[in-house]
Amino acid sequence: MESICTDAQKEALQQLECLFNLDSDQLRKFADHLVEELDDGLRKKDEDSAIAMLPSWITRHPTGQEKGQYVGLELSGSYVHLYLVELLGQGRTSTRQQKYLVADRLKKGSIHPLIEFIAGTIGKFLDFIDMKENAGGIPIGLAISFPLHQTSLQNAVVLKWTKDFDITDANDKDIVALLQTELQKRYIPITIKAVLNGTAASLLAHSYRSLDTLLSCTVSTGTNAAYWEKASAVKKCNFEDGQEVIINTEWGTFGRHHEHCLPRTFYDNRVDRESTNAGVHHFEKMVSGLYLGEIVRQILVDLVDRRILFAGRCSSELNQPQSLPVSYMNAMEQDESEDLTNVEHIMESIMNIPKTSRHDRHIVKRVCQLVSQRAARLVAAGMSAIIKKSGALETGLTVSVEGTIYEHYPSFPNRVNEALRELYDKKFENINIGVTPDGNGVGAALAAMIGSCESARN
């Protein structure tokens, strides 16, 4: 490819390769610092540590033999997703599901319109599964994809609204109580039995299928990891000794104290500055779906401004923040045609760049590869930090992964594996990676099952 580029283009690409290619030593260094912060977070109060390490109040591994019917609700970055989950035993489940788009206006301002919307979706879903009349008997669990401070399985305060959410009046408000009141107001007969973070839910779901699951990792609009930790290690809470508890790490916040270990570039700084929550969640902004396309866009605009790309011609579309979603990036990276016709279509017909040369299109494709490859390698390094901390590598372990980027960006899983192989060599074989589609919903339903058993005991 290099031979078809001009000297200036070659030089610009080399600079980008230096910035975005992370070697194994950089990944190890990053993982070592992450381990320090994970340990620190287990000791300090949620709001005082760089990485929150939030206990989920799930202190019991499922056996895989549990049975019953439960409703699970997932609030992710873009959708409320509802599931009727049948636990069939032997780690098997069946689901019926529906999803409802969360409009942008609900993501900003007061929490009440969002709660009303969620209650409305539960009502519609119960109609859909024909249970509006007799839902009283069905417990529901909530998987909320935000950092939650909890003092039990049945309450949760969102510590910080992440991704593109900016809710302004929810400080200290228990979202379970808000939602339960709204459900009662609407005579929707269903009881919330549990709440937990989405990634924690996904871990629970995979643990039902595979008892040796240690950790779960989400790479979606946002990113996160949750893992089973010994209760005695969680110094900030009093769990019974001998138990294990799911910890929601909130690893997306990494970078606050160890900026030098996170190789952020000029482009990452720009993306951060223009984001809804500037100055925080640096790791998330290098890794997850809400930001990857934006990093690519920032690089392309810079290359245009330096007259290295598109003969220096931009378009109002390319100048527009967030105009290049990760789905375009994916399509451009997958383009194997000789003339890169998909890249041409996206750049010329969608982004309205007046004219692209073949050289330009190769550069665009390479930029997409560099940005997604860096993300995958950082995710692998993050996983390796938790694996190292647990000491489980020798005996073997299962990692569960979920999220649109991991599941639908075809080169992503291979790149994660490649990086893990570099880090572990032959011991990589001891890591079993499983994808958990619908993990949030199934995990929320399992949490509802655990919550119902607890209420029955008390």
Residues that bind ligand BGC (CB under 6 A): 76, 145-147, 162-163, 197-199, 218, 220, 222-224, 250, 252, 284
- Give the ranges where 78-128 is alpha helix by DSSP (H): 112-128
Report in angstroms how near the CB of residue 87 gets to ligand BGC at its nearest: 23
- DSSP-derived secondary structure letter, 77: S
Nearer to ligand BGC, 219 or 261 (CB): 219
State the DSSP string of 362-381.
HHHHHHHHHHHHHHHHHHHH
Report in angstroms how near the CB of residue 283 gets to ligand BGC at its nearest: 10
Nearer to ligand BGC, 38 or 318 (CB): 38
Tell how far CA 193 is from the center of its chain: 24
Cβ distance 87 to 279 under 8 Å?
A: no
Report in angstroms how near the CB of residue 415 gets to ligand BGC at its nearest: 19
Between CA 216 and CA 225 the distance in angstroms is 6
Nearer to ligand BGC, 41 or 147 (CB): 147
- DSSP-derived secondary structure letter, 244: E
Nearer to ligand BGC, 62 or 443 (CB): 443
Report in angstroms how near the CB of residue 218 gets to ligand BGC at its nearest: 4
Report in angstroms how near the CB of residue 303 gets to ligand BGC at its nearest: 29
Nearer to ligand BGC, 146 or 254 (CB): 146
Report in angstroms how near the CB of residue 401 gets to ligand BGC at its nearest: 12
Between CA 59 and CA 420 the distance in angstroms is 29
Between CA 374 and CA 380 the distance in angstroms is 10
Between CA 41 and CA 45 the distance in angstroms is 7
Between CA 164 and CA 400 the distance in angstroms is 25
Nearer to ligand BGC, 333 or 402 (CB): 402
Cβ distance 34 to 382 under 8 Å?
A: yes
Summary count for the chain: helices (H), strands (E): 15, 15
Nearer to ligand BGC, 16 or 158 (CB): 158
Report in angstroms how near the CB of residue 182 gets to ligand BGC at its nearest: 22
Cβ distance 88 to 94 under 8 Å?
A: yes
Nearer to ligand BGC, 100 or 428 (CB): 100
Between CA 284 and CA 77 the distance in angstroms is 13
**275 class by beta-carbon count within 10 Å (0-12 exposed, 13-18 middle, 19+ buried):** buried
Report in angstroms how near the CB of residue 149 gets to ligand BGC at its nearest: 12
Nearer to ligand BGC, 403 or 451 (CB): 403
Nearer to ligand BGC, 59 or 224 (CB): 224
Between CA 82 and CA 390 the distance in angstroms is 33
Nearer to ligand BGC, 87 or 234 (CB): 234
Report in angstroms how near the CB of residue 95 gets to ligand BGC at its nearest: 19
State the DSSP string of 402-453.
ESHHHHHSTHHHHHHHHHHHHHHGGGGGGEEEEE-TTHHHHHHHHHHHHHHH
Residue least distant from ligand BGC (Cβ):
222
Between CA 162 and CA 148 the distance in angstroms is 11
Report in angstroms how near the CB of residue 344 gets to ligand BGC at its nearest: 33
Report in angstroms how near the CB of residue 144 gets to ligand BGC at its nearest: 8
Between CA 18 and CA 268 the distance in angstroms is 15
